[in-house]
Amino acid sequence: MNKPDYIKTCARCQRDKPADCFRPCKTTRDKIQSWCKDCFRENALAHYKKNQARYDARRSELYHKNKNIKPVTPPQSTDTSDLL
């Protein structure tokens, strides 16, 4: 699929950026998201920092919960083509 080749203004930072700087999105009319990749990254990072205590607590909880579970050996397969 070819990405649209034009400049779009990011709805968050209001900067004009090439379509390459936006992630594809099936639900929008121009098939790319309204926020640029940088804004999504910044937003995710800000959200994580804001909720870091909660994420850390959840991770710790899962760690202690799963600590005694033994890993399951994956089924042996000679066909590795689907891994690529």
Give contact residues for Zn ion (rule: CB under 5 A). Answer: 10, 12-13, 36, 39
- What DSSP element (H or E) covers 59? helix 52-66
- Pick between residue 12 and residue 31 the one whose CB is nearest to Zn ion: 12
Of 12, 24, 55, give the one whose Cα is nearest residue 4: 24
Which residue minimizes CB distance to Zn ion?
A: 10
- Give me the least distance between CB of 11 and Zn ion, in Å please: 8
- Give me the least distance between CB of 36 and Zn ion, in Å please: 4
CB 12 within 8 A of CB 36: yes
3-state SS assignment for residue 84: coil
- Give me the least distance between CB of 79 and Zn ion, in Å please: 43
